[in-house]
Structure 1
Amino acid sequence: MTLKIIPRPVIAIAGLACETSTFSPARTVSRDFHPRRGAEIIEKYKFLQEGTPLANAACWEGALIGHALPGGIVVRRDFEQLASEIMTRLHQIVAATPIDGLWFDIHGAMCVEGLDDAEAELLRRIRTVVGPDVVVSSSMDLHGNVSRTLAHGTDLITCFRMAPHEDAMETKERACQNLVDILTAPTRTGKPRKPYKAWVPIPILLPGEQTSTRMEPAKSLYDLVPVVEAIPEILDAGIWVGYAWADEPRNHAVVMVTGWDKATVMNQAKRLAAQFWKYREDFHFVAPAGSLAKCLDTAFASSKRPFFISDSGDNPTAGGSGDVTSSLIELLARRELQGKTGITMIYASIPGPEAIDVMIQAGIGATVTVTAGAQVDNIHSGPVTMTGIVFSIKHGDLNAEVEAVLQVGQLFVIVTKRRKPYHHESDFVDLRLYPRQADVVVVKIGYLEPELFDMAADWMLGLTPGGVDQDLPRLGHHRIHRPMWPFDKSLSELPEPTPELIPPSDESL
Structure 2
Amino acid sequence: MSQPRTPAARPVIAIAGLGIESSTFSPARTLAPAFHPSRGDEVLARYPFLDKGAPLREAAEWHGALVGKSLPGGTVTAEAFAALSDELVERLAALPRLDGLWYDIHGAMTVEGIDDAEAVLLRRIRESVGPDVIVSTSMDLHGNVSRALVHGSDLITCYRMAPHEDHMETKERAALNLVDLLVSGAPRPVKAWVPVPVLLAGEQTSTRIEPAKGVYAAVAEVEALDGVIDAAIWVGYAWADEPRNRAVVVVTGTDAGAVAQGAERLARGFWDARRDFAFVAPTGTLAECLDEALASPARPYFVSDTGDNPTAGGAGDVTWGLTRVLARPEFRTADGPTVIYASVPGPSAVRTAVEAGVGATVTVTAGAEVDDRHAGPLTMTGVVHAVRHGDRDAGTEVVLRVGSVHVIITALRKPYHHEHDFTDLDLDPRGADVVIVKIGYLEPELYAMAADWKMALTPGGVDQDLVRLGHHRIRRPMFPFDADMAAPDLTARLIAPSDEALTGADE
Q: Normalising TM by the smaller chain, what interval?
A: over 0.9
- Return the alpha-carbon distance in structure 1 between the equivalents of residues 411 and 391 of structure 2: 10
Is the partner of 2:45 in helix, strand or coil? helix
Tell me, yes or no, if structure 1 residue 255 matches structure 2 residue 257.
no
Name the CA distance, whole Å, in 1 between partners of 2:454 and 2:386. 28
Aligned to 2:504: none
Q: 2 CA distance for matches of 1:204 and 1:459?
A: 27
Supply the distance in 2 between the matched residues of 1:241 and 1:337 (Cα, whole angstroms): 39
Distance, in Å, in 2 between the alignment partners of 1:242 and 1:4 is 36
Amino acid at match of 1:154: S
Match of 1:329 in 2: 323
Question: Is the Cα–Cα contact under 8 Å of residues 274 and 496 in structure 1 kept in the other structure?
Answer: no
Q: In structure 1, how many angstroms separate the alpha carbons of the residues matched to 2:199 and 2:225?
A: 29
- CA drift at 1:431: 0.3
Q: CA deviation at 1:4?
A: 5.4
Aligned mates of 1:165, 1:85 — CA distance in 2: 29
Instruction: Give the direction of change, closer, same or farther, for the CA distance of 1:246–1:220 in structure 2 (3 Å limit).
Output: same
**What is the distance in 1 between the residues matched to 2:228 and 2:9?**
25
Residues 17 and 162 (structure 1), Cα distance of their counterparts in 2 relative to 1, 3 Å cut: same
Q: Does 1:145 align with 2:144?
A: yes
Deviation at 1:506, TM superposition (A): 7.2
Could you say which residue in structure 2 is the equivalent of 1:501?
Answer: 494
Deviation at 1:496, TM superposition (A): 4.0
Q: Does 1:48 align with 2:31?
A: no
In structure 2, runs of 5+ residues without a counterpart are 501-507
Which of 420, 438, 442 is equivalent to 1:444? 438
Aligned ranges 1:11-90 → 2 under 5 Å: 11-90=13-92
Deviations 1:144-164, CA, capped at 9 Å, x for gaps: 000011011100000000000
State the one-letter code of the partner of 1:100.
D
Cα deviation code 1:300-331 (max 9, x no counterpart): 11111100000000000000000000000000
Deviations 1:177-201 (A, max 9, x none): 000000000x4xxxx5211000000
Distance 1:184 1:119 in 2: 27
Q: Which residue of 1 aligns with 2:177?
A: 178
Distance 1:354 1:3 in 2: 60
Provide the residue aligned with 2:7 in structure 1. Answer: 5
The counterpart of 1:470, out of the listed 464, 468, 477, is 464
What's 1:456 paired with?
450
Q: For residue 280 of structure 2, what is the amino acid of its counterpart?
A: V
Verify: 1:282 aligned to 2:276, yes or no. yes
Structure 2 Cα separation of the partners of residues 66 and 366 of structure 1: 39
Question: Could you tell me whether the CA contact under 8 Å between 2:336 and 2:403 is conserved in 1?
Answer: no
Residues 321 and 505 of structure 1: CA distance in aligned 2, closer, same or farther (over 3 Å)? closer
Pick closer, same or farther for the CA change 1:17–1:295 going to 2, 3 Å.
same
- Which residue, 224, 227, 230 being the options, matches 2:221? 227
- For residue 231 of structure 1, report the CA deviation from its aligned partner: 1.2
- CA distance, structure 2, for counterparts of residue 29 and residue 454 of structure 1: 34
Distance 2:92 2:58 in 1: 22
| Percent identity for Structure 1 against Structure 2 | 63
CA contact (8 A) 1:159 1:240 kept: yes
Unaligned runs of 5+ in 1: none
Aligned partners of 2:53, 2:497: CA distance in 1, in Å?
33
TM-score, L = length of structure 2: 0.97
Code of the residue aligned with 1:45 in structure 2: it is Y
Distance 1:293 1:494 in 2: 39
Partner of 2:106: 107
- Give the superposition deviation at 1:494: 2.7
CA distance in 2, matches of 1:49, 1:61: 13
Once residues 428 and 277 of structure 2 are traced to their aligned partners in structure 1, the CA distance between those partners, rounded to angstroms, is: 34
Q: Deviations over 1:379-435 (max 9, x none)?
A: 111000000000000000000000000001110000000000000000000000011
Distance 1:3 1:171, change over 3 A: closer
Q: What one-letter code is carried by the residue in structure 2 that aligns with 1:120?
A: A
How far apart, in 2, do the equivalents of 1:497 and 1:113 lie? 32
1:254 aligned counterpart, secondary structure: strand
Offset at 1:80? 0.3
Q: How far off its partner does 1:127 sit?
A: 0.5
Post-superposition offset of 1:257: 0.2
Contact 1:195 1:503 in 2 (8 A): no
Give, in whole Å, the separation in 2 of the partners of 1:132 and 1:461: 47
Which among 295, 302, 305 is matched to residue 301 of structure 1? Answer: 295
Tell me if the contact between 1:196 and 1:501 (Cα under 8 Å) persists in the aligned partners: yes
Residue 224 and residue 332 in structure 1: after superposition, are their counterparts in 2 closer, same or farther (change >3 A)?
same
Which of 411, 421, 424 in structure 2 is aligned with 1:427? 421
The match for 1:399 is 393
**Alpha carbons 1:225, 1:237 under 8 Å: kept:** yes
Q: Does 1:387 align with 2:386?
A: no
Correspondence for 1:487 among 467, 474, 481? 481
Q: 1:14–1:65: 8 Å Cα contact kept in structure 2?
A: yes
1:9-33 per-position Cα deviation (integer Å, ceiling 9, x unaligned): 0001110001100000011000000
The 2-side partners of 1:457 and 1:279 are apart by: 30
CA contact (8 A) 1:201 1:498 kept: no
Helix, strand or coil at the partner of 2:73 = coil
1:118 equivalenced with 2:120 (yes/no): no
Distance (Å, rounded) in 2 between the aligned partners of 1:198 and 1:315: 34
Q: Which amino acid aligns with 1:252?
A: R
SS at match of 1:44: coil
Number of residue pairs matched by the alignment: 497
Does the 8 A contact of 1:37 with 1:63 survive in 2?
yes
2:280 and 2:46 map into 1 onto residues whose CA distance is 32
Task: Tell me the secondary structure at the aligned position of residue 22 of structure 2.
Answer: coil
Contact 1:277 1:496 in 2 (8 A): no
Question: For the Cα contact (< 8 Å) 1:389–1:407, is it kept in 2?
Answer: yes
CA deviation after TM superposition for structure 1 residue 340, in Å: 4.1
